[in-house]
Amino acid sequence: MPDRDDEEEGQMDGPVLRAQGLAKEFRGFRAVDGVDLDVAEGSVHALVGPNGAGKTTLFNLLTGFLKPTAGRIMLGDRDLTGRRPEQVARLGVARSFQITSLFPQMTPREHLELALAGATGLTWRFWRTERLLDRYADRAAELLSEVGLSAHAGTPAGTLAYGHKRALELALALALDPRVLLLDEPTAGMGVEDIDRTVELVRKVRAGRTVVMVEHNMSVVSSLADRVTVLQSGRVLVEGPYAEIRHDPRVISAYLGDPHAED
């Protein structure tokens, strides 16, 4: 018997983020082709798959950066389908941006104050008003401490080490206080030490949150993910806990590029 209360709240043990029949076509080519995805509240859910599987496209759909050709995206009982990225973010699905979106001259503290001001609806023309930004100083300091950047709060972002830039991106997403945090390859381009640090960081920030991440590094996936969705050719190939999917012959074939993998 379905538990109506839980369903109506759109949370508890039900999915907090749900995609149904999601598709994206680029000039007739289906990069995402009828994906169903249920992300449970409080879980870390990894999206994996070989190159070109549609992970980035799916991420862009979930965050409003692309509009779906078909299908529906729900956050709890709210329909996110077709909403713009800033609306999606404000409703509670925030994405950790790429380093290219950082301003090299601005410090982590300034980035965060600006993000916090933006999250509360203040527009750009207000951001230099010192008193308004002071309001966000405490929260910015907290977020910097959460991601281990306190010692670099006043360093221009352009001169930060790679791992620290990625930590700043994460803090910027957390500034939105999201219900669902999307991480796009959080360990991409990192050496072993930074990867370990990032795994610890994600462990820490996941508390009380739901995380969806695209991640190529399977050891990172095994350390962090409660559930894994494996995509191939725009479709869900397999879904389940990492311990189960890692032995699945379809997954192994997909990664080895077996042309009969879908059989």
Ligand X SMILES: Nc1ncnc2c1ncn2[C@@H]1O[C@H](COP(=O)(O)OP(=O)(O)OP(=O)(O)O)[C@@H](O)[C@H]1O
Q: Closer to ligand X at the Cβ: 55 or 111?
A: 55
Looking at beta carbons only, is 28 or 121 nearer to ligand X? 28
Q: How far is Cα 251 from Cα 25, in angstroms, rounded to an integer?
A: 24
Q: Which residues bind ligand X (CB under 6 A)?
A: 26, 29, 31, 49, 51-57
- Could you tell me the CA-to-CA distances from 183 to 23, 48, 205 in Å, in that order? 21, 12, 12
Euclidean distance between CA atoms 97 and 149, whole angstroms: 17
- Minimum separation from the CB atom of position 52 to ligand X (A): 4
Among residues 53 and 168, whose Cβ is nearest to ligand X?
Answer: 53
Rounded least distance, CB 63 to ligand X, Å: 13
Cβ nearer to ligand X, comparing 54 with 92: 54
Q: In angstroms, give the least distance from the CB of 145 to ligand X.
A: 32
For the bound state, the minimum distance from the C-beta of residue 230 to ligand X, rounded and expressed in Å, comes to 11
Shortest distance, CB of residue 35 to ligand X, whole angstroms?
Answer: 11
- Greatest Cα pair distance in the chain: 63
Q: Give the other-Cβ count within 10 Å of 18's Cβ.
A: 18
User: Which residues are paired to 94 by β-bridges?
Assistant: 181
CB atoms near residue 40 (< 10 Å): 17
Burial status of residue 107 (CB atoms within 10 A of its CB: 0-12, 13-18, 19 or more): buried
Number of Cβ within a 10 Å radius of residue 119 = 18
Q: How far is the CB of 206 from ligand X (least distance, A)?
A: 22
Our CB check for ligand X shows the closer of 16 and 254 to be: 254
Q: Return the number of the residue (30 or 139) whose C-beta is nearest ligand X.
A: 30
Q: Looking at 64-124, which runs of residues are DSSP E strands?
A: 70-75, 78-79, 93-95
